[in-house]
Amino acid sequence: MTQGQKSSPIKKTTVAIFADVHSNLHALSAVLDDIYARQPDYIFCAGDLVGYGPYPNETVELIKKHNIPTVMGNYDDAIAFSRIVCGCDYKTPRAQEIGEQSIMFSKDQTSPENKNFLSALPLFLFLKTTSESAIMQKHLPNWTCQLEKPTTEHNEIINTEIKPTDGSRLMLLVHGSPRKLNEYLKADTPIETFHNIASIIPADILVYGHTHQSYHKYINGVHFINVGSAGKPKQGNPNVNYAWLEIGDNVEVDFIEVSYDKEATISAMTHYNLPQELINIIATGIDS
């Protein structure tokens, strides 16, 4: 593009993104019904298909049926690779005990075939939008990221990248953060953390989950978008939610709330003798 030449408007692309389904088949079904009724250009999942809930196999099978691009969550990693812990931030010994019970249940219930599916999920997905089209890809040329153990060399590589300046936008989808699978980026995370992350990614839109609480921040040239939870909400409301993005010259974000048959999920959790504390979260949307 020559000096003084104006770039063409970015083609508006609608994207629906959900995360943290956690084996809640009834919630996922309701979310997908709502999404498909809106007919977005793209649908993505930011990980954690399994864990906590009663339907790990059925949840994975539904994602496979609809061929929804999905990144790996920390719980997906734990079940796929038979880890002892899921990398969650447990506040009390009882919470840790519940987490360990959940891992054992999910390991026992998830089929070998679906564990293989979880093990093959990518850590990153990219969506580049231009004036003419939108393109999804799993790898960005000349950019590598060692998710679990960032190094000085890794940061130098990323710092050579700049945000899109060619009349395009680049969305990066992860589960926790670009730095670590299970890093919590909460609404009240210190702003310095967001500044640091903005400085090491080539994208101008970062989408993720893991905290089960939705928000949208614009910091240091990057849209930080947490999509909430489509299966185990923690916002004081038992309805689940997902994010609806309209990506063009501007980035517009809306969080869509979806009601579903919670009693069916609770009944199944009771049938499998899952901890009452997990049932209470489904019933209230409060993680006490």
Stretch 51-69: mean pLDDT: 97
pLDDT tens for 175-225 read 999 999 999 999 999 999 999 999 989 899 999 999 999 999 999 999 999
Domain 13-284 has CATH 3.60.21.10: yes
H-helix segments, 9-111: 25-38, 56-66, 74-80, 93-109
Spans of all domains in the chain: 13-284
H-helix segments, 89-137: 93-109, 112-119
Contact between residue 44 and residue 95 where contact means Cβ atoms under 8 Å apart: no
pLDDT tens for 229-240 read 999 999 999 999
- pTM for this predicted structure: 0.89
According to the model, what pLDDT value does residue 162 have? Answer: 59
For the cut 50, the answer to whether the pLDDT of residue 152 exceeds it is no
